Structure 1
């Protein structure tokens, strides 16, 4: 590969694997992010302290640096900005209309309905009266969601009339559009499906079953990746669904709920799952580095399809007590374990632990993998025994 400049939108730690890949190929990598202390600001060859939603500024940067491509991973907002910048500059990328389908929940529902797939009963709401009318017609519980937010922000389960929300409480999390979507609550037996599209063909590479925080049914506490014959029908149906969208290439992350009628799609995304799912979990369970494959397609490099592995993995979020931390033990021992792909704790000694409110402020997490379910459970039990957080009285 010739030395060329490429821009990644977003420099969070979970987005740095792509930077490492590109630098190993000899690319000059620029990262843009509003957080000037993000991990990508150090790793990149050059950093611009610019908002990931600032299309005009990123277009100017791309012109100035003569960038050959602009992309993002693990971020809906970054994907949308990259699509807009690439369209303006005539660069290869995910088409804007495809990104809009994958980021707008109302368009997703319409797409499912028009193509004969199961979907929750839903309605677009533009006023408090619209929400009340949906409740009167469909009953409780139901879910209210912003149209294009990420990380469960603004998502809430409404269980009775006393909990009826104001539109603005969820709408404030939208990006550039009005309204919210309300839909039937289908339960919390939730699954994620990870995959990638290569030359228009979708490959499912992993499926996890989610568990949630006890009092936060919309916030994941654990994603457990395993393999089962009961997933075969879901895999076939999901591959077909993604191919119907027209996504030409790219990583996918989707969420389903299992109901009496079958698996019902909650949402899909034309990006990798956050919290290092795309960069760490998917390669561990499948043997496919999906970010490398995505970048090869973006840059018109050859992609070699190899045999898929079927390993096991867990993305486990930590739950601490809401107290002041006095001492932490065991982190070095956990990091030394071969089965641990990543571990991070968002609090240190002397910090007051705050309550978990959504996906963005969970207390920390680790990622582990193994060749079998039995081995993975042993690893999880070992982590639980080793990690000790001692609180001040």
Structure 2
């Protein structure tokens, strides 16, 4: 009798479980044939997490003084970059680096400008949330106050759908923000229509000339900005190989403040700060060139204002400038990439290369309502 009762209870539990519909698998918005990104097993994608993350991404309540959100420095109309040389945090403290565009970051195998130990968005997000050099959102020490703000509508239902939780915590905040950021996909440029959708009319003759120049051994652009995502910093289901996407492009080479060495300015020496390897002096991550015309200014410190200046910089094989009264000749840096050798372009060729770079812009990405500010919706 007792065994029969136990079996009946088990049977009822199985029936109840079978009646609970699991959330369907996340549907990546990818063109046919494109590989899916690699997602950490402890934070699988779900539509509910993406939607929760969208609300959090645009919510100034996530900063300690409620003055900034993630979207303050990552603006959709600028391909989720910011049209400033460097960003400022919620307390007004300036960052030393330019805000990177968030385009197809689901495929990134490294994050930030110069860190080879951040393999997932979840790790990178801890820096703007809790970092203090500089303070960005300033959540450190204010966790409970910030979480208390997430009890207002529509958060209770959003957290319940995403995590079956009635009590939000920061691990859920990070997981949801990571999921939304991974959902930011851009594959609808005119270049995509030409290269992947067999639309031969999508690019003009001038843009096709620029394409040929871009992928030529004469200019070498494709070595650091290759593949479907136009960056070496890419991994996906079909490419587990982790290439080291950090390069010294010859931006600076000046006498250090201690007068004992030459190299990048001490306030930002790039990857060498993390690796402690002098050979990594001035090495920064090669960003994607998708939507590059929308995400000015350029380089890790926003020092080049236009794409024309970027082309001139690479054509010269580096930059000659003055820093604190001293001549800086980045062309002479011993760690400069062998691909930055300089080249000559005619006026026609330069315009063609610019035209090609503009063809990588995706207007649907910068206007997609699924990526927009939900707090502005009716």
Q: Which bin holds the TM-score, normalised by the shorter protein?
A: under 0.3
Greater CA radius of gyration, 1 or 2?
A: 2
Structure number with the bigger relative contact order (C-alpha 8 A, sep ≥ 6) is 2
TM-score (norm 1): 0.27
Structure with the larger strand share: 1
TM-score (norm 2): 0.27
